[in-house]
Amino acid sequence: QATRATAAHSTVSIDDKSSCTFRDGGLSHGIARGPEHVPSSRHTQDGRSWVEAEHDGYGPNVGLNHRRRLYLGEDGRDLRGEDTLSPKPGQRVRTGTAFARFHLHPTVEAANTDDGDSITLNLPDGETWQFRARGGATSLEDSVYVGQGKAAAARQIVISAPCEAD
Protein backbone atom coordinates (compact mmCIF):
# COMPACT_ATOMS: atom_id res chain seq x y z
CA GLN A 1 0.00 0.00 0.00
CA ALA A 2 2.74 2.47 0.96
CA THR A 3 4.51 2.07 -2.38
CA ARG A 4 1.38 3.33 -4.17
CA ALA A 5 1.57 6.74 -2.49
CA THR A 6 2.95 9.60 -4.56
CA ALA A 7 5.49 10.35 -1.79
CA ALA A 8 7.01 6.89 -2.40
CA HIS A 9 8.12 8.03 -5.87
CA SER A 10 10.65 10.55 -7.13
CA THR A 11 8.12 13.22 -7.99
CA VAL A 12 6.15 16.09 -6.46
CA SER A 13 3.44 15.63 -3.86
CA ILE A 14 1.36 18.33 -2.24
CA ASP A 15 0.77 18.12 1.50
CA ASP A 16 1.94 14.50 1.14
CA LYS A 17 -1.34 13.64 -0.60
CA SER A 18 -1.28 11.36 -3.61
CA SER A 19 -2.22 12.57 -7.07
CA CYS A 20 -4.42 9.48 -7.50
CA THR A 21 -6.09 6.75 -5.49
CA PHE A 22 -6.44 3.08 -6.40
CA ARG A 23 -9.51 0.91 -6.04
CA ASP A 24 -9.32 -1.84 -3.43
CA GLY A 25 -7.70 -4.91 -4.88
CA GLY A 26 -4.58 -3.35 -6.37
CA LEU A 27 -3.53 -2.14 -9.77
CA SER A 28 -5.57 -4.79 -11.58
CA HIS A 29 -8.71 -3.08 -10.27
CA GLY A 30 -7.69 0.29 -11.63
CA ILE A 31 -7.48 3.87 -10.49
CA ALA A 32 -10.42 5.29 -8.53
CA ARG A 33 -9.34 8.93 -8.91
CA GLY A 34 -6.41 10.33 -10.83
CA PRO A 35 -5.15 12.69 -13.48
CA GLU A 36 -7.35 13.18 -16.51
CA HIS A 37 -4.96 15.26 -18.63
CA VAL A 38 -1.41 13.81 -18.95
CA PRO A 39 0.42 15.20 -22.00
CA SER A 40 4.10 14.39 -22.58
CA SER A 41 6.75 15.00 -25.21
CA ARG A 42 10.35 14.01 -25.94
CA HIS A 43 12.85 15.76 -28.18
CA THR A 44 16.37 14.71 -29.15
CA GLN A 45 19.00 16.78 -30.93
CA ASP A 46 22.73 16.11 -31.31
CA GLY A 47 22.63 13.47 -28.56
CA ARG A 48 20.87 15.76 -26.07
CA SER A 49 17.37 14.90 -24.85
CA TRP A 50 14.49 16.90 -23.40
CA VAL A 51 11.44 15.28 -21.82
CA GLU A 52 8.37 17.16 -20.64
CA ALA A 53 5.31 15.73 -18.87
CA GLU A 54 2.36 17.25 -17.06
CA HIS A 55 -0.67 16.08 -15.10
CA ASP A 56 -3.73 17.56 -13.43
CA GLY A 57 -4.01 15.04 -10.58
CA TYR A 58 -3.87 17.79 -7.94
CA GLY A 59 -6.62 19.84 -9.58
CA PRO A 60 -9.50 18.55 -7.43
CA ASN A 61 -7.58 18.84 -4.12
CA VAL A 62 -5.52 22.00 -4.42
CA GLY A 63 -6.23 23.47 -7.86
CA LEU A 64 -2.75 22.89 -9.33
CA ASN A 65 -1.20 21.17 -12.35
CA HIS A 66 2.27 19.61 -12.05
CA ARG A 67 4.79 19.84 -14.92
CA ARG A 68 8.25 18.25 -14.97
CA ARG A 69 10.90 19.04 -17.56
CA LEU A 70 14.13 17.04 -17.81
CA TYR A 71 17.27 17.66 -19.84
CA LEU A 72 20.06 15.10 -20.39
CA GLY A 73 23.32 16.26 -21.96
CA GLU A 74 25.05 14.48 -24.80
CA ASP A 75 27.57 12.66 -22.59
CA GLY A 76 24.93 11.65 -19.98
CA ARG A 77 26.73 13.55 -17.21
CA ASP A 78 24.54 16.66 -17.16
CA LEU A 79 21.02 15.97 -15.91
CA ARG A 80 18.79 18.94 -15.12
CA GLY A 81 15.17 19.12 -14.13
CA GLU A 82 12.43 21.59 -13.39
CA ASP A 83 9.17 21.02 -11.55
CA THR A 84 6.45 23.64 -11.92
CA LEU A 85 3.10 23.90 -10.18
CA SER A 86 0.62 26.15 -11.97
CA PRO A 87 -3.03 27.02 -11.28
CA LYS A 88 -5.55 24.78 -12.98
CA PRO A 89 -7.87 27.01 -15.02
CA GLY A 90 -11.16 27.66 -13.27
CA GLN A 91 -10.06 26.33 -9.88
CA ARG A 92 -9.04 28.10 -6.69
CA VAL A 93 -5.53 27.30 -5.39
CA ARG A 94 -5.48 26.17 -1.77
CA THR A 95 -2.53 26.87 0.53
CA GLY A 96 -0.26 23.92 1.19
CA THR A 97 3.30 22.64 0.89
CA ALA A 98 4.84 21.02 -2.17
CA PHE A 99 7.47 18.29 -1.67
CA ALA A 100 9.76 17.21 -4.51
CA ARG A 101 11.27 13.88 -3.50
CA PHE A 102 14.23 12.10 -5.05
CA HIS A 103 14.67 8.62 -3.61
CA LEU A 104 18.24 7.30 -3.66
CA HIS A 105 19.47 3.74 -4.04
CA PRO A 106 20.81 2.29 -0.75
CA THR A 107 24.34 2.14 -2.19
CA VAL A 108 24.43 5.94 -2.75
CA GLU A 109 25.91 7.91 0.14
CA ALA A 110 24.46 11.42 0.43
CA ALA A 111 25.63 14.37 2.52
CA ASN A 112 24.81 18.06 2.78
CA THR A 113 27.62 20.34 1.66
CA ASP A 114 29.21 22.75 4.13
CA ASP A 115 27.57 25.75 2.45
CA GLY A 116 24.14 24.08 2.63
CA ASP A 117 23.42 24.86 -1.04
CA SER A 118 23.77 21.35 -2.41
CA ILE A 119 24.01 17.66 -1.62
CA THR A 120 26.95 15.45 -2.54
CA LEU A 121 26.12 12.00 -3.87
CA ASN A 122 28.91 9.41 -3.63
CA LEU A 123 28.29 6.46 -5.92
CA PRO A 124 29.59 2.91 -5.33
CA ASP A 125 32.00 3.18 -8.28
CA GLY A 126 33.73 6.16 -6.63
CA GLU A 127 32.11 8.79 -8.84
CA THR A 128 30.70 11.88 -7.12
CA TRP A 129 27.67 13.85 -8.28
CA GLN A 130 26.32 17.09 -6.92
CA PHE A 131 22.60 17.83 -6.49
CA ARG A 132 21.56 21.49 -6.43
CA ALA A 133 18.09 22.97 -6.14
CA ARG A 134 16.55 26.43 -6.18
CA GLY A 135 13.11 27.54 -5.06
CA GLY A 136 12.73 25.59 -1.84
CA ALA A 137 14.38 24.22 1.28
CA THR A 138 16.50 21.12 0.62
CA SER A 139 16.96 18.32 3.17
CA LEU A 140 18.04 14.70 3.42
CA GLU A 141 15.56 12.26 4.97
CA ASP A 142 15.26 8.56 5.59
CA SER A 143 13.55 6.43 2.97
CA VAL A 144 12.98 2.79 2.11
CA TYR A 145 14.13 1.11 -1.08
CA VAL A 146 11.92 -1.75 -2.25
CA GLY A 147 13.63 -3.75 -4.96
CA GLN A 148 14.00 -7.40 -5.83
CA GLY A 149 11.30 -8.22 -3.28
CA LYS A 150 13.25 -6.81 -0.32
CA ALA A 151 13.09 -3.56 1.62
CA ALA A 152 16.31 -1.74 2.55
CA ALA A 153 17.06 1.49 4.38
CA ALA A 154 17.86 4.35 2.01
CA ARG A 155 17.89 8.14 1.86
CA GLN A 156 15.90 10.68 -0.11
CA ILE A 157 16.45 14.28 -1.09
CA VAL A 158 13.40 16.41 -0.28
CA ILE A 159 12.78 19.94 -1.51
CA SER A 160 9.86 21.69 0.19
CA ALA A 161 8.20 24.94 -0.85
CA PRO A 162 4.90 26.62 -0.01
CA CYS A 163 1.96 26.59 -2.42
CA GLU A 164 0.40 30.03 -2.26
CA ALA A 165 -3.36 30.54 -2.18
CA ASP A 166 -5.02 32.90 -4.67
Say what the pLDDT of residue 38 is.
Answer: 86
Say what the pLDDT of residue 1 is.
Answer: 65
Say what the pLDDT of residue 117 is.
Answer: 77
Say what the pLDDT of residue 30 is.
Answer: 65
Spatial contact of 101 and 13, defined as CB atoms under 8 Å apart? yes
pLDDT score of 128 more than 90: yes
pLDDT score of 27 more than 60: no
pLDDT score of 8 more than 80: no
The whole model's pTM is what? 0.84
Residue 153: which residues within 8 A CB-CB, separation 6 or more? 106, 142, 143, 144, 145
**What letter represents residue 108's amino acid?**
V
